Structure 1
Amino acid sequence: MDWLHEIFKRSPEIALFLSLSLGYLIGKIKFGKFQLGGVAGSLLVACVVSQFGVQIDSGVKSVLFALFIYAVGYESGPDFFNSLGRQSVREILLAVIMAATGLATVVIMAKLAGLDKGLAAGVAAGGLTQSAIIGTAGDAIGKLGLAADETQRLQANVAIGYAVTYVFGSFGAIIVCVNILPWLMKRSIRDDAIKAEAQMQAGSVRVLGEGQQEAAPDLIGRLYRISAGKGHAVAQLESALGEPPVTIERIKRGDQFIEVTPQVVLEDDDIVLVVGRRAGVVASAALLGKEVYGIDGMEVTLLRRDAVITSKALIGRTVDQIRVATAGGVRHGVYVLGLRRMGKPLPLAPEVVIQAGDTATLYGGEHDVRRVASAFGEVVVTSSKTDFVFLGAGLVVGLLVGLLSVKLGGIPLTLGAGGGALLSGLVFGWWRARRQTFGAMPPGAVQILKDLGLAGFVAVVGLQSGLQAVSTIREHGLTLFLVGVVVTLVPMIITLLIARYVLRYDNAAILAGALSGSRSANPAFGEVLDKAGNAIPTVPFAITYALANVLLTLLGPLIVALA
């Protein structure tokens, strides 16, 4: 195999991309309902490839991890800060309890089993299935001022501990959430999910998935041949049609198209295009005439735009107050399809109070939409391109924060590059959600940074430490596995008991979602959703998952300091 060694020596990046490709291929293989996953698969393949002798620069590892952890923060930022409220106290406490019990369990078991700082952090990363700990712990180890070979040994042990404990870390979370939790609560996840769905308030916002559309949309356009409405001006008819409002967008008289103005008087046999909400458009037939179809030239292209609300005249007022105070001529021809706050849909209820940074989705003619959007604030222009000014600035700020260090009892505590980039990503992601006219990073770009950053980082770790892995597993393999079992189960069971008997969770589906999120356990959450049969567990999962991505990731430096 000398030829492989020569290839990897001349082009070590081949080893990196080979590890990613084969790792994700292996990660797709199903063992029952369990999959190893691309990250763990990449680590496994990288350890094998490293046996042929691969030298890869550590700077590659640092860059990949910084991109990954910043993207995690950027994506989680809005949910993270939104969750810090009175309405989510239980979820916040749940995530804190999970992180605290996880830290205590790891430190205690590391001391009992005689694990070094690297293996302890690796057990935490695998047993708690928080891969980002590999980076934050490795970065903290690099700040200890140890000899280069000792630093590399401990950093390699982080990956080894992760590899040995990750499989049961995923499997154990499924056991607790899907089996132990319903047994403890004496109710099934499915029954409680149905119960919670039935109790949801009517009129809640329905979010369509990708590729979905309403079979009977709320906003429609229809053509009418004027008979009953002849002799009336456009403004008179629109006013007479009342609520919900409709607008006449186009008029055809014979072979001629008439410019639509409020003063235009409709004549017998005129064809008009009426646009508005379904109830108003259907009701307008009685005042206009017979509905007709397929009239050439009556097609109108309407525009859909998002506008960030920055106008002081709107902020702090309810939807109903804004509607009453807005002149009919200002809002004529434009319809508000929805409201979002920090990326989350809001009901278009009269009592909803508008806040700075809320986003309104406007629909209507291009000229009308632009006119109304300017009164709201700033138009959001969607783009598939990433704002690298914003991305670069966020990474610079995060890496600078990571350089800061404080000593506690002589032990240096630092967020490191990973923790700093994570916190910066949270703030910049939150800022972007409030001001969507700059700092764009499309979901696809965020996902590729997360996937490539983490899997690439882990693969580099495997390539650098694979030779050492074999001897370490021989020495500590069974011990590491058993410690990992304890680290997986004990924090989850303690958190489950506190959630049930102290925080008073009484719905199995909601608790299962919150518990899986507090452990950032995606496989467990997938099983919970499968059992629930609806989206009820998603909301508590989103809150605790956003918090867990921060809290569990920050365990890396703490374990290095305390283990």
Structure 2
Amino acid sequence: MEWLHELFRKSPEMAIFLSLAVGYAIGKIKFGKFQLGGVAGSLLVAVLVSQVGVEIDSGIKAVLFALFIFAVGFESGPQFFSSLGRQSIKEIVLAAVMAVTGLVTVVVMAKLFALDKGLAAGVAAGGLTQSAIIGTAGDAIAKLGLSAEETARLQGNVAVGYAVTYVFGSFGAILVCVNLLPRLMGRSLRDDAVAAEAAMLAGAQVLGPDQQEAAPSLVGRIYELTDDPRRSIRDIENANPATTITIERVKRNGKLIEPSPELVLLRGDIVLVVGRREAVVTDAPLLGREVFAVEGMELTMLKREVVLTNRRFDKQTVAQIRADTASGVRHGIFVVQLSRMDAVLPMQPDTVVHLGDVVSIYGAEQDVKRVATIIGDTIVPSAKTDFVYLGAGIVVGLLIGLLSVKLGSIPLTLGSGGGALLSGLLFGWYRARKQTLGALPPGAVQLLKDLGLAGFVVVVGLQSGLQAVETVRQLGLTIFGVGVVVTIVPMVLTMLFGRYVLRYSNSAIFAGALSGSRSANPAFGEVLDKAGNAIPTVPFAITYALANVFLTLLGPLIVALV
């Protein structure tokens, strides 16, 4: 294997991408109903690759994780802040239960297997994947008044216990959250994520890439007038106040003519009618017979999202806006959706709109452009990322992560991960309010999440895999076995508590909360992948922030109790 070692020494980045490629290939293999998943597969492959000796700079791991956790927060910022309140009590309790069960499990296992304070704290740090325990436990050991040699030995054992148990700490959390929890709930993460998203969107249909409605709500049809209506286009369009159709094209005697509101239609005219399906089906056939493929009747329609900035419409109901807006302004425009902070609003007459709401309008291009300037600022679709906004957000997050507050002698900090998550939530929330600022397309967010998490996990495996295997060889499987128990038991007990006491009913939301309460980032990444949307992110963000505090406090408590 010397040639592999030399190859990875010259190009260590090759080891990262090799682990990703092979890991994701293995993750796709199904063993009955069990599927490892790309993140867990990449972690295992990285541990194997590490055995030939690979040196990876820790800065790569920090960068990848910052990208991942910021993107997660950015995507879920609007929903996170709207969900805070009494409804977050379950997440607070869940995070506390995880910390308490983790502490009890570590202390009991340390007593049973005669682990010293250092090994016990290291097992907690690795088995619960909370690296901050290393620091708080090491600081507590230094304050015990022991000899310099004994202090150094115990602090070294913290690192040993951490190295042996961290890999399964990450892997075991994936098994519980992605495989065991859905079986307990009796439903898949994907099904419950879709159901929760549908409820959040107030019943609005969400189409995925390359999906189209078989019966779209807005349609266009061509009719030849078989009677002589002798009515203007305005009269025909306003004949039925309950429904709306617009006449966008008129062809008379083989020539196209301008469809002005005052134009009087005659028998034999061919018209293009656009409107909501129910209106077109009900009213348009009264004009005459439907015809097809008439030259010159083609019309390109446009859909645009516009941020409401016109104070004239602020705090007005949909009905009031419609009544106060001249028919000439409304002509040819259909409002297909209203949303606020990425949450869809019901299109009811009594729905009140506010500045900053996003109005989705549909119509002919010239009509959409005309009305968009009246409503506010048009959101122009773009595949480009605003790197000014992205870079500033991550910098702010890393600065927040450097802040530290002492609880007695214990320093508490969000760390770079917690800081980047909080910054992502704030920047995502602000972007939802000012949607003409800080573009980060969904595809870019997904890439940051996938590459950031998988790359982070691979670097962890490459850095700690060799040391973990060597330590197991030296100390036997006892430490590793204790780490397995510390990883699995608190998660299972917390999962049962959440299911039967806290009454979590949605598996996607529950999996997000459970992975966050253990600071289990790889598990959360797999949960997101299985869910297929961002539903698990909000509960994860709450419990993850709490876990960074609760689990960090375990270091000195373990040193005191073991």
Place the TM-score, normalised by the shorter chain, in its bin: 0.7 to 0.9
Amino acid at match of 1:110: V
- State the distance in 2 between where 1:21 and 1:201 align: 36
Q: Equivalents in 1 of 2:349, 2:390: separation in Å? A: 38
- 1:516 is aligned to 2:511: yes
Alpha-carbon separation, structure 2, partners of 1:121 and 1:138: 6
Tell me, in whole angstroms, the C-alpha distance in 2 between the residues paired with 1:272 and 1:449: 49
Matched, 1:370 2:373: no
Paired residues of 1:144 and 1:412 also in contact (CA < 8 A): no
Name the structure 2 match of 1:19.
19
The DSSP-based 3-state class of the residue aligned with 1:519 is helix
Segment of structure 1 superposing worse, 40-49 or 546-555: 546-555
- Read off the aligned partner of 1:307 and give its amino acid letter: V
TM-score w.r.t. the length of structure 2 is 0.83
Write the distance in 2 (CA, Å) between the matches of 1:4 and 1:559. 40
Query: 2:478 matched to 1:483?
Result: no
Report the RMSD for the aligned CA atoms in angstroms.
3.7
Q: Distance in 1 between matches of 2:57 and 2:495?
A: 38
Please give the alpha-carbon distance, in whole angstroms, between the structure 1 residues aligned to 2:298 and 2:273: 11
The question of whether the paired residues in 1 share the 8 Å contact of 2:126 and 2:483 is answered with no
Give the secondary-structure state (helix, strand or coil) at the position aligned to 1:223.
strand
How far apart, in 2, do the equivalents of 1:273 and 1:561 lie?
Answer: 76
Tell me the CA shift for residue 290 of structure 1: 2.1
C-alpha distance in 1 between matches for 2:349 and 2:331: 19
Aligned to 1:163: 167
Alpha carbons of 1:485 and 1:279: their partners in 2 closer, same or farther (altered >3 Å)? closer
CA contact (8 A) 2:164 2:480 kept: no
Q: What is the identity, as a one-letter code, of the residue corresponding to 2:126?
A: G
Deviations along 1:141-199, whole A, 9 cap, x unmatched?
Answer: 999999999999867855642422445434444686455567xxxxx999x99xx99xx
- Residue in 2 that maps onto 1:95: 91
- Quote the residue 1:267 is aligned against: 266
CA contact (8 A) 1:398 1:425 kept: yes
Cα 1:560–1:452, aligned 2, differ >3 Å: closer, same or farther? farther
Post-superposition offset of 1:454: 1.8
Contact 1:251 1:258 survives alignment (8 Å): yes
Segment of structure 1 superposing worse, 321-330 or 104-113:
104-113
SS at match of 1:240: coil
Deviation at 1:300, TM superposition (A): 0.7
* Deviation, structure 1 residue 101: 0.8
CA positional deviation for 1:311: 2.3
Q: Which amino acid letter does the alignment assign opposite residue 394 of structure 1? A: G
1:407 maps to which residue? Answer: 406
Structure 1, unaligned runs of 5 or more: 126-132, 183-187, 530-534
1:46 is matched by which residue type in structure 2? A
Q: Are the counterparts in 1 of residues 68 and 453 from structure 2 also a CA contact under 8 Å?
A: yes
**Structure 1 residues 21-60: aligned runs within 5 Å:** 21-60=21-60
Query: 1:105-156 CA distances to partner (integer Å, 9 max, x unpaired)?
Result: 223323332544443133224xxxxxxx56x778989999999999998678
1:301-380 matched pairs, under 5 angstroms: 301-380=300-379
In the alignment, residue 237 of structure 2 is paired with which amino acid? E
Q: Where does residue 63 of structure 2 map in the other structure?
A: 63
* Contact 1:205–1:345 (8 Å) recurs in 2: yes
Percent identity at matched positions? Answer: 48
| Conservation of the 8 A alpha-carbon contact between 2:27 and 2:40 | yes
Distance (whole Å) between structure 2 residues aligned to residue 140 and residue 425 of structure 1: 27
Inter-partner Cα distance in structure 1 for 2:61 and 2:422: 19
Shift of the 294–561 alpha-carbon distance from structure 1 to 2, 3 Å rule, reads: farther
1:485 aligned partner, one-letter code? I
In 2, Cα distance between the equivalents of 1:528 and 1:463? Answer: 25
- CA offsets per residue over residues 487-523 of structure 1, 9 Å max, x none? 11111222233224xxxx7xxxx35454333214779
Partner-residue secondary structure (3-state), 2:307: strand
User: Given the superposition, is the C-alpha separation of residues 540 and 26 from structure 1 closer, same or farther in structure 2, using an over 3 Å criterion?
Assistant: closer
Matched with 1:424 is 423
1:119 aligned to 2:123?
Answer: yes
2:465 equivalent in structure 1 = 466
Identify the match of residue 497 of structure 2 among 494, 499, 502: 494
2:215 maps to which residue?
A: 216
- Would the alpha carbon gap of residues 189 and 257 (structure 1) be closer, same or farther in structure 2, given more than 3 Å must change? closer
Structure 2, unaligned stretches of length 5 or more? 143-150, 516-522
SS of residue paired to 2:127: helix
Q: Deviations over 1:464-485 (max 9, x none)?
A: 2222101444340111112222
Contact 1:516 1:524 in 2 (8 A): no
Match of 2:518 in 1: none
Deviation digits for residues 254-282 of structure 1 (CA, Å, limit 9, x no counterpart): 12111121111222211111111122222
* Aligned partner of residue 21 in structure 1, secondary structure: helix
The aligned length equals: 527
Structure 2 contact 399–419 (Cα < 8 Å) conserved: yes
Separation in structure 1 between the aligned mates of residue 200 and residue 137 of structure 2, nearest angstrom? 50
Partner residue of 1:227? 226
Structure 1 SS opposite 2:351: coil
Change (3 A) 1:528 1:306: closer
Shift of 1:286: 5.4
In 1, Cα distance between the equivalents of 2:52 and 2:154?
Answer: 23
Q: Does structure 2 conserve the Cα–Cα contact (< 8 Å) formed by 1:139 and 1:418?
A: no
Structure 1 contact 419–554 (Cα < 8 Å) conserved:
no
1:392 Cα deviation after fit? 0.2
Which residue identity is paired with 2:32? G
SS of structure 2 residue aligned to 1:163: helix
Counterpart-to-counterpart distance in 1, 2:267 and 2:135: 79
Deviation at 1:202, TM superposition (A): 14
**Is residue 23–residue 44 contact of structure 1 (8 Å, CA) maintained in 2?**
yes
